[in-house]
Amino acid sequence: MMKQFDPTTLEIYRALYTSVAEEMGVALRRTAFSPNIKERRDYSCAVFDALGNVIAQGDHMPVHLGSMPMAVAAVLRQVDLKPGDVVAVNDPFAGGTHLPDVTLVMGVFTSVSGAGGRGPGKNSRNPTPDTRHPFFFVANRAHHADIGGATPGSMGLATDIYGEGLCIPPVRLVRNGELDEDLMRLILANVRGLDERRGDFQAQIGSLKTGAVRLLEIVERRGAPEATEYAAHLIEYAARLMRRAIESIPDGAYEAEDVLDDDGVTDDSVPIRVRITIDGSRARVDFTGSAPQVAGPINAVAAITVSAVSYVFRCLLGNDVPASAGLMRPIEVIAPEGTIVNAVHPASVAAGNVETSQRIVDVLFKALSEGLPNRIPAASQGTMNNLTIGGIDSRPGDNAREFSYYETVAGGMGARPALDGMSAVHTHMTNSLNTPAEALEYAYPLRVREYSIRRGSGGKGKRRGGDGVIREIESLVPARMSLLADRRKRGPYGLAGGEDGKPGSAAIISKSARCGARRGGRKRTIASKGSWELAAGDRVRIETPGGGGFGKTR
Partner 1 sequence: MHRQNRKLTGARYVLHSNHMVTNKITNRRSLKQDRKVRVGVDTGGTFTDFVFESNGRLEIFKLASTPLDASLAISAGLKHVSDKTGVALKNLEVVHGTTVGTNALLERSGARTALVTTRGFEDVLAIGRQARPELYNLNAVKPPPLVPDELRFGVSERVTATGEILDPLNENALAALVERLRKAKVESVAICLLFSFVDSAHEEKIARALAKLNIPLSVSYRILPEYREFERTSTVVINAYLQPLMGSYLSRLSTKTPRLRVMQSSGGSISATVAAEEPVRTILSGPAGGVVGALRMARAAGFDRVITFDMGGTSTDVALCGRDGLRLTNEASVAGIPVAVPVMDIHTVGAGGGSIARLDEGGSLRVGPESAGADPGPACYGRALLPTVTDAHLVLGHFADAGLLGGEFAIDEERSRLALSQLARELAKAARRPVTTIEAAQSVLSIANTNMERALRLISVERGFDPREFVLLPFGGAGGLHAVELARALRIPKVIVPSSAGVLSAIGVLAADVVKSQSRTVMLECSPEMQEKRVKEKLNSHFKLMEQVAAVALTREGFDRSKQLHERSLAARYKGQSFELEIKQTGNIDATFHRAHLKRYGYAQELNTVEIVSARLRSTGIVEKLSIKRGAPRQRLRASTGAVARPSGRAQFANFEGKKLRVAVYQRDELKPGMRLYAPCIVTEYSSTTIIPPDTRAGVDEHGNLIIQVT
The site map against partner 1 for 291-310 (x = CB under 8 A) is --------------------
Out of 171, 295, 437, 536, name the contact with partner 1 by CB under 8 A: 437
- Given a contact cutoff of 8 angstroms between Cβ atoms, the answer to whether 495 and 548 are in contact is yes
Strands 479-484 and 529-534 turn out to be antiparallel
Nearer to partner 1, 273 or 314 (CB): 314
| Piece in contact with partner 1 (CB under 8 A), picked from 128-136, 149-157, 274-282, 375-383 | 375-383
The reply to whether 425 sits near partner 1 by the rule CB under 8 A is: yes
**For 309, phi and psi rounded to 5 degrees?**
-60, -45
Site size for partner 1 (CB under 8 A): 83
Interface pick for partner 1 out of 135, 237, 405, 406 (rule CB under 8 A): 237
Q: Which of residues 38-77 bind partner 1 (CB under 8 A)?
A: 38-39, 41, 59, 62
* Residues contacting residue 498 through CB under 8 Å, at least 6 positions apart: 378, 415, 459, 460, 461, 462, 463, 465, 548, 549, 550, 551, 552, 553
DSSP H stretches of helix in 190-329:
194-222, 224-247, 302-314
Output 190 or 202, the one with its CB closest to partner 1: 202
Closest separation in Å from C-beta 266 to partner 1 = 32
Contact status: 244 vs partner 1 (CB under 8 A): yes
Which of residues 415, 422, 484, 542 is near partner 1 by CB under 8 A?
A: 422
451 binds partner 1 (CB under 8 A): yes
Stretch that binds partner 1, among 135-143, 316-324, 479-487, 499-507 (CB under 8 A): 316-324
**Residues making up the chain, counted from first to last:** 554
Shortest reach from residue 20's CB to partner 1, in Å: 11
Out of 17, 33, 48, 493, name the contact with partner 1 by CB under 8 A. 33
Main-chain dihedrals φ then ψ at residue 374, nearest 5 degrees:
-100, 5
113 or 123: CB nearest partner 1: 123
Choosing from 1, 4, 520, 554, the residue that interacts with partner 1 (CB under 8 A) is 4
Helix, strand, coil content of the chain in percent (nearest 5) = 30, 25, 45
Closest CA to 98 of 346, 343, 387, 350: 350
Which span sits near partner 1 by CB under 8 A: 47-55, 133-141, 150-158, 201-209? 201-209
Member of 73, 179, 188, 433 binding partner 1 (CB under 8 A): 433
| Per CB under 8 A, 427 contacts partner 1 | yes
One DSSP character per residue, 332-401 reads EEE--TTBTTB--TT---TTIIIIIHHHHHHHHHHHHHHH-TTTPPPP------EEEEEEEE--TTS--E
What is the pattern of x (binds partner 1, CB under 8 A) and - over residues 205-224? -x--xx--------------
Binding segment toward partner 1, per CB under 8 A, in 90-98, 100-108, 419-427, 528-536: 419-427
Residues 90-119 that bind partner 1 (CB under 8 A): 118
DSSP state of 182: H
Closer Cβ to partner 1, 146 or 286, answer by number: 146
| Residues 536, 511 contacting (CB under 8 angstroms) | yes
Q: Does 341 help bind partner 1 (rule: CB under 8 A)? A: no
Task: Give the one residue of 423, 482, 528, 531 binding partner 1; rule: CB under 8 A.
Answer: 423
Q: Which of 419, 524, 525, 535 binds partner 1 (CB under 8 A)?
A: 419
Measured from the Cβ of residue 478, the count of other Cβ atoms closer than 10 Å reads 15
Which helix (H) or strand (E) is 471 found in, with range? strand 468-475
Q: For 364-398, give one letter per residue: b (16+ CB within 10 A) or e.
A: bbbbbbbbeeebbbbbbbbbbbbbbbbbebeeeee
Element (H, E) at 273: strand 270-279
Kindly tell me which residue out of 438, 517, 518, 554 binds partner 1, with binding defined by CB under 8 A.
Answer: 438
Cβ neighbour number for residue 513 with a 10 Å cutoff: 16
Applying CB under 8 A, among 447, 489, 490, 514 the residue interacting with partner 1 is 447
